[in-house]
A and B are shown apart, each in its own frame.
Chain A
Amino acid sequence: NAGVTQTPKFRILKIGQSMTLQCTQDMNHNYMYWYRQDPGMGLKLIYYSVGAGITDKGEVPNGYNVSRSTTEDFPLRLELAAPSQTSVYFCASSYTPGQGINIQYFGAGTRLSVL
């Protein structure tokens, strides 16, 4: 199993450009998450999904959009990129929180710079 796969690994955007960060998992997890990690900081939840067709906002959703058309894929869309969105973005997936040992599996991350 590949686990959680994120593409691209690195990207440089100009202010105002748009892009989609891809995330796919092959563990048949219902729950998927997008986090951002600013330098020296913890993880902030952007959006999450509890299953195909269902998404909800996390702590820092402004400037981002998501969709979940399949169990496997959970892309994150940045519209009108701003320097404040320079960060490392991690996608994660898990089984249902609160039931048993609920491990979050993380992708390798996408390092995004907006200049």
Chain B
Amino acid sequence: GQQVMQIPQYQHVQEGEDFTTYCNSSTTLSNIQWYKQRPGGHPVFLIQLVKSGEVKKQKRLTFQFGEAKKNSSLHITATQTTDVGTYFCAGPNFNKFYFGSGTKLNVKP
């Protein structure tokens, strides 16, 4: 079956440092989504990427979809304590979504 893998599992950074999480799918994706889950909270949609090689930015967050549409990345510039949480990628397969295992980001003030 389809697998979506994410690395790293954990990342601890000092406030102001950059952060990147990577997502790899075993199959080609029609699109990929990114979600953020704050500690004790529920996943919240961040963005969807559809086109091969697509790059989208949301303030300090940059999302990229690979040329082969099998991988994606999320980069945060100059992290802040408000960025703390777990970031998940999710790839659709017909009627289902397959979530990566997530990257837990901790930011030290």
Residues of chain A at the chain B interface (Cβ within 8 Å): 31, 33, 35, 40-45, 48, 50, 56, 58-59, 90, 92, 97-98, 101-109
Please tell me if the beta carbons of B45 and A97 are within 8 angstroms of each other in the complex: no
Residues of chain B at the chain A interface (Cβ within 8 Å): 1, 6, 30-31, 33, 35, 41-45, 48, 88, 90, 92, 94-102, 104
Please tell me if the beta carbons of B92 and A102 are within 8 angstroms of each other in the complex: yes
Please tell me if the beta carbons of A106 and B43 are within 8 angstroms of each other in the complex: yes
Please tell me if the beta carbons of A58 and B96 are within 8 angstroms of each other in the complex: yes
Once bound together, how far apart are the Cα atoms of A45 and B6, in whole Å? 17
Chain B's nearest CB lies how many Å from the CB of A52? 15
Once bound together, how far apart are the Cα atoms of A33 and B96, in whole Å? 8
Closest 8 CB pairs of A and B: A42-B101, A43-B99, A106-B42, A103-B45, A42-B99, A97-B92, A101-B48, A42-B102
